[in-house]
Amino acid sequence: MAESPDGGLRAEVAGGVGTIVIDRPAKRNAMSADMWRALPGVLDGLAADPGVRAVVLTGAGGNFCAGADIAELADIHRDDDSHLATVAERALAAFPKPALAAIEGYCVGGGCQLAAACDLRFAADGARFGITPAKLGIVYPVAATARLVGLVGPSAAKYLLYSADLIGAEHALRIGLLDEVVPAGGLRERVAEFAATLASRSLLTQRATKDIVDAVVASGPVEEKAKRWLDEMAASGEVEEGVAAFLERRAPGFTWTSPSR
């Protein structure tokens, strides 16, 4: 298990799935400056562990994250490139394995920023979402704004950012902020089940998919990336294992963990 310096983040690994817990329940898991600083290192440790096939980000005590700790806002909210939340968000978005957010209770401000940086978002049906810089006169970071627009579109992004109002899980699902809403009490089981499914699949396929999808969204060099991943696929042995497992009616044992070059 790994922890951030102030103990506000916990990371553990079981069954091929890493779990990062935001653990400041007395403050609804508001992220301190030290926690924002620590998150990229926690992610690096899980990325380097070949036994980790997927990661779940969640919160302790019935809430996901109430955002940045307002008492430390001057330290957290610097210029856009050194903004501690932006640095952590970019590290989470760049994590090379599937990253899931498991959300209950409040997911507000920086909490939404972290959830949006994950690949997929699951929430309990009582969860509440909001992006609240308009309550403080803050200009929301460019990277976070672009990610939000990519998820929910410009109109819904403006709705959230203009109003700073909280919305329910069904509203969040309807606009694309969530991928799945789970009945209260069933979130942990559902996310564990889905994460285990991801951990059993080909990590090569998943990493290639993430790289190519992100390039499509960013209007980047898609053909170049696809060619590189096709070369990696040919050298990896993943296809041979997948086909053999299918023909032998057994679960595949995919072993690829990182690019050969």
pLDDT, tens digit (0-9, with 9 covering 90-100), for 110-122? 999 999 999 999 9
CB 109 within 8 A of CB 131: yes
pTM of the model: 0.92
The pLDDT-based confidence of 71 (bands split at 50, 70, 90) is confident
Phi/psi at 58 (5° precision): -150, 180
- Mean pLDDT, to the nearest integer, of 14-31? 95
Spatial CA neighbour of 99 closest among 204, 210, 1: 210
Residue carrying the six token digits 């690829």: 256
Q: Hey, how many other C-beta atoms are within 10 angstroms of the C-beta on 138?
A: 13
pLDDT exceeds 80 at position 31: yes
Q: What is the pLDDT of residue 78?
A: 57
In 3-state terms the chain splits into helix, strand, coil percentages (rounded to 5) of 50, 15, 35
Q: What is the pLDDT of residue 5?
A: 47
pLDDT in tens, 179-230: 999 998 999 999 999 999 999 999 999 999 999 999 998 888 899 999 999 9
pLDDT exceeds 50 at position 1: no
pLDDT exceeds 90 at position 63: yes
pLDDT exceeds 60 at position 2: no
Q: Hey, how many other C-beta atoms are within 10 angstroms of the C-beta on 226?
A: 14
Give whole-number Cα distances, 139 to 5, 8, 67, 160, in Å.
29, 26, 15, 13
Across the chain, mean pLDDT equals 92
The pLDDT-based confidence of 138 (bands split at 50, 70, 90) is confident
